[in-house]
Structures are given as structure tokens and as C-alpha cells.
Amino acid sequence: MPTTSDDCIFCRIVAGELPARIVRRDERTIAFMDIAPATYGHTLVIPRNHSRDLLEIAPEDLHAVASAAQSIAARASERLGADGVNLINSCGSAAWQTVFHFHMHVIPRYADDPLRLPWVPAQGDPDEIATAAAQLIG
């Protein structure tokens, strides 16, 4: 039995208590259509076990989600004619997470779709980059 959290809509989808258009299942994950798709074929891959986010998910579940997301990305390319795919995970409200059961968005991309990068690429401050690197290195 997967670990669950009360009041988690994705746990309820795993349990079959809420409807979802499930497109792939394996021992550790399910994949289903996002109810508010960013593009045609937008799919969510989630672990069956409840974990809040990227910082909490068990490595085995994260690996299984990554593998399932790769499989859905291949289907998007082969069956939907996607020109590309974005994998997006939001960790924390500040990063746009709204459902607190880990999920990977698999977003098929089309040459003429309306999505845009959420930041404007611009040359960074080298000192600030070096400072961040010093904090992250290890």
C-alpha cells in the first residue's frame, strides 16, 4: 500500500477515489492528464507514495517518476507529433507549486505553441555567480 496523506487530491487519484485520465501505471508511479493543460497532451507523473515535494521525495520514487516521464515524453513525440517536451517540477509555493504531492509536468511542446520562457535571459553578474557557486559547491 502506498503512503498517503489526508486531504491530498493526488493521493485520492492514486486510490481511485477521484477520477483521472490515467495513461500509464507502474509499481511506483501513475501518469494522468492535467485538468488544465498548458498544451495538447500535458500530463502529470506522480509517485504512488505521498511526498510533499522534491526535497521530501524518496530517491527510488524520484527515479521512477523520471523514468515514467521519459516514457510519456517519447509518446508525446511519437504519437502527438510534439516538436519538443518540457519537464517541469515546482518545489514550494515560491516556485509555483499548488498541489503538495510531488509531480512532474510533462508538457509537449509545438513549434507554434504560445508558451514562453518565464525569465528573460540576460548576462549575469560574474561576482554574484561566483558567490552562489561557492555556496553550492561540494
Closest contact distance (angstroms) between CB of 28 and ligand 5GP is 19
Interface residue with ligand 5GP among 96, 115, 129, 132 (CB under 6 A) is: 96
Longest dimension (CA), the chain: 52
**Rounded to 5 degrees, what are φ and ψ at 73?**
-60, -40
Which residues inside 42-61 make contact with ligand 5GP, applying CB under 6 A? 44
Q: Does 101 bind Zn ion (CB under 5 A)?
A: yes
Q: Which residue number, 32 or 65, has a Cβ lying nearer to ligand 5GP?
A: 32
Which of ligand 5GP, Zn ion, none lies near 5, with the C-beta cut-off 5 to 8 A by kind? Zn ion
Which alpha helices (H) appear in 58-119, and where do they start and end?
A: 59-79
Measured distance CA(103)–CA(52) in Å, rounded: 9
Closest contact distance (angstroms) between CB of 86 and ligand 5GP is 12
Residue 50 CA, distance from chain mean position: 14
Element spanning 14, H or E: helix 9-14
Measured distance CA(31)–CA(71) in Å, rounded: 10
Interface residue with ligand 5GP among 4, 23, 34, 71 (CB under 6 A) is: 34
Q: Does 90 bind ligand 5GP (CB under 6 A)?
A: yes
C-alpha cell at 23: 495513461
Site for Zn ion, rule CB under 5 A: 5, 8, 10-11, 50, 101
Site for ligand 5GP, rule CB under 6 A: 9, 20, 32-36, 44, 90, 96-99
